[in-house]
Amino acid sequence: MTYLENTMKRPVALLGVVAAAATLAACGSGTGAEGPAGPPRPGGTLRYGLSLAPTCSDPAQAGTNQTLYVTRQIVDSLTDQHPGTGEITPWLAQSWEVSPDAKAFTFHLRPGVTFSDGTPVTAASVQKNFDAIVRTLTGAKAPLAASYLAGYTGTTAPDPLTARVEFDRPNAQFLQASSTPQLGILADATTAKSADERCLGDNIGSGPFTYAEYRQGSSATLAKRTGYSWGSAVFAQQGEAYLDRIEFRVVPESGVRSGSLSSDQLDAISDALPQDVPQIEATGGTVQVTSNPGLPFGIQPNVTRGPLRDPAVRTALETAVDRKELVDTVLGPQFRAADGALSSKTPAHVDLSGRLGYDADAAKRLLDQAGWVPGSDGIRAKDGVRLSFGVLFSRAFAGNQAILELIQQQLRKVGVDARLEVAADAEYTARQNSKDYDSLYYNLTRADGDILRTQFGLADRNLNVRGPIPPLDQALSEQLQAVDPAARAQLIGHAQQLVIDNGLYIPTIELSQAIGVSNTVQDLKFEASGRLQFHDTWLR
C-alpha cells in the first residue's frame, strides 16, 4: 500500500489553506527551475527529504512511496511503462512475445548487462528472482509481487538471454507487472537471502544507482553506478546517471521540510503541503504534482458483517460522501476527488462521477425505502440494529484521520454512524489479512486495472469477503485472458462499473504526490506509477 506522510491538521484547522495554494500547478515534466538551464551536467549530490522513514530496502517488499523512491533507483525491470501513454517499453528485455493464451511470456534480454557485483544479468537471474518471490518472500512479505505472479509455474531458459515465464492460467496483467519495481531483477547474492536479510540494505541490482548506505527506518544514501549503459527506453539519455549521489533524509514535519528546502539544506522534498507553496516559490522553487494510478482512497466494506450486508446501505454511502468538500476542506488543489473505482491516471479508467455525485437527499430516500428509520439521536436503525459500522484505517497517510473525520460528519447527516478505528501498521495488516473488520480505508498504487482483481476478486484477496457476483467474476477473469489491449480495457471498464453497482467500494479521493523542488534541480521525473525516477535528474 502506498501513502503520503505529512503533518496535516484536522479539517477545521485547514479551512484557510486552499486559497493560499491556488497557484499550485500540476506538473509532470520534471523541470525544477525557471528559464533555460543549458545542457545537463554530471556530478553533485542531491539531498532529498523524505516524509516517512524508508522500511525494507528490498524493492520486492517495499510498500510505501517513500521507500520506493529509494528502492526504484537500484533495480532495473524487464520492461518499463511510459508514464504518458501507458505503453510497455524495453528495459532489460529488448523484446518479448506473449502466447495466445496469455500463459507464457518470453523475454529476450539485452546482452552485456551486469549487476553491481559484476555478475551478468541472465535468464537464470530472472528465474531465481521470481522463484524467490513465490517461495521465499510469499504474499505476507511481498503481497503485490506475489499477486503479480499468481499461478506462476516457473521460468525456463532456452538460452542465457531468453527467459520464458509460465503460468498455470491466463495472466495478461503480467506484462505490465514486469515493469514494476516489485518485480525488478536482483543478483543471485540477494535472491539467495531470507526475506528479513533482504531488508538490510546491501541488495545488489543492475540499476543506475547502488546502495552506499542504508539505515532501515532512518536514512539511505545511493551512489552512481559507473558504466551503466542499459537504461529504460523511457529515459531521456542512455548512459550513466548524472548525479554522483543521492542522500535521503527523513524529515517528518512538513514545515521543517519546506524550510530546509528554502534554506538550501535540501534540494527536493516529499509531500509539499498547500501552505508550504508560497515559501517554496519565494526562493525560486516549484512543486511538481502527479496523481497515483490504481485504487483511489476509499472504504471497502465487509459485506458479511452488520448493516453493510444491505446493498441499499452500501449504495447510499456512495452518494452520501461529498468528495469535493474533502478536497476543498482537508487537502488542497493538488488532490482530485475520486470519480470511480480506479484513479484517473490508471489505463482503462472509466469516469463514473455521474454515479458518485453528492446527493444526501437521495441517500436518505434510499435508506428510508430500505427500512432504515432515524432514531432519537439521528442514527437510523432497522429491526433493532443501528446503522453503525467500523472503519479500520492506518495513519501512514496522515491525511486519513482528517478525511475520515469529515466523512464521519457527512454520513451522520444521513443517519449513518461510522466508527473510526485507527490501527498501527502491523495491527492494520494483521486484521486485513484475517478479514477482521467492518470496512477498510486504504488506497493501492498500480498503473494497471488488474488491481481490481487482486483486491476484489473472489479467488484473490476478496477484501469484501463476498460471494459470487457472476458478471464481475467473469469480467475480472476474462481481462486476464485478453491479450488485445482494447478488449482488455473494455473488460476492465465493465468491472469498474460492477464494483460501484454492487457497492463494493466507496471511493473518496485520489492520492497525489506533491514534490517540492529547488531551482537547482532539473528533470526530476515521475514514472508511470507515480514514484520518482532519478536517472535523468541533474543539478545546475
Residue type, position 453, single letter = R
In this model, does residue 16 exceed pLDDT 60?
A: no
9-23, 33-47, 116-130, range with the lowest pLDDT: 9-23
In this model, does residue 32 exceed pLDDT 60?
A: no
Are 286 and 300 contained in the same domain? no
152 falls within a domain? yes
171 falls within a domain? yes
The C-alpha atoms of residue 100 and residue 102 are separated, in whole angstroms, by 6
pLDDT reported for residue 398 = 67
Q: What is the mean pLDDT of residues 374-380?
A: 97
Going by pLDDT thresholds of 50, 70 and 90, the confidence category of residue 1 is very low
The C-alpha atoms of residue 341 and residue 322 are separated, in whole angstroms, by 16
Q: What is the mean pLDDT of residues 473-492?
A: 96
Q: Which of 535, 534, 538, 493 is nearest to 520 (CA)?
A: 538
Q: What is the mean pLDDT of residues 388-417?
A: 94
In this model, does residue 2 exceed pLDDT 60?
A: no
pLDDT reported for residue 4 = 32
Q: What is the mean pLDDT of residues 103-131?
A: 98
Going by pLDDT thresholds of 50, 70 and 90, the confidence category of residue 517 is very high
Strand partners, 220: 214, 248
CATH number at residue 79: 3.40.190.10
Q: What is the mean pLDDT of residues 341-351?
A: 97
Are 243 and 338 contained in the same domain? no
446 falls within a domain? yes
Give residue-wise pLDDT tens across range 159-216.
999 999 999 999 999 999 999 999 999 999 999 999 999 999 899 999 999 999 999 8
Q: What is the mean pLDDT of residues 367-384?
A: 97
pLDDT over 90 percentage in the chain: 83
Averaged pLDDT score across all residues of the chain? 91
pLDDT reported for residue 34 = 47
Are 521 and 438 contained in the same domain? no
Give residue-wise pLDDT tens across range 217-253.
889 999 999 999 999 999 999 899 999 999 999 999 9
27 falls within a domain? no
Report residue 513 as a C-alpha cell.
504526490
Are 333 and 465 contained in the same domain? yes
Are 459 and 526 contained in the same domain? no
pLDDT reported for residue 334 = 84
The C-alpha atoms of residue 306 and residue 354 are separated, in whole angstroms, by 28
CATH number at residue 426: 3.10.105.10
12 falls within a domain? no
The C-alpha atoms of residue 392 and residue 245 are separated, in whole angstroms, by 40
pLDDT reported for residue 104 = 98
What is the domain count for the chain?
Answer: 2
In this model, does residue 318 exceed pLDDT 70?
A: yes
pLDDT reported for residue 46 = 98
Q: pLDDT: is 204 or 425 the higher one? A: 204
In this model, does residue 17 exceed pLDDT 80?
A: no
Number of H helices, E strands in the chain: 18, 27
pLDDT reported for residue 112 = 97
25 falls within a domain? no
pLDDT reported for residue 274 = 81
Are 375 and 478 contained in the same domain? yes
4-18, 223-237, 252-266, 269-283, range with the lowest pLDDT: 4-18
The C-alpha atoms of residue 501 and residue 493 are separated, in whole angstroms, by 13
Are 74 and 182 contained in the same domain? yes
Dihedral sign from CA coordinates of 496, 499, 504, 508: positive
Are 483 and 388 contained in the same domain? yes
Report residue 440 as a C-alpha cell.
477498510
pLDDT reported for residue 443 = 95
Are 65 and 191 contained in the same domain? yes
2 falls within a domain? no
Are 494 and 518 contained in the same domain? no
Are 81 and 185 contained in the same domain? yes
Domain carrying residue 280: 45-290+514-539
Q: pLDDT: is 362 or 29 the higher one? A: 362
Residue type, position 360, single letter = A
13 falls within a domain? no
* H-assigned helices in 112-249: 123-132, 138-141, 143-148, 174-177, 188-191
Are 375 and 491 contained in the same domain? yes
In this model, does residue 33 exceed pLDDT 90?
A: no
pLDDT reported for residue 13 = 32
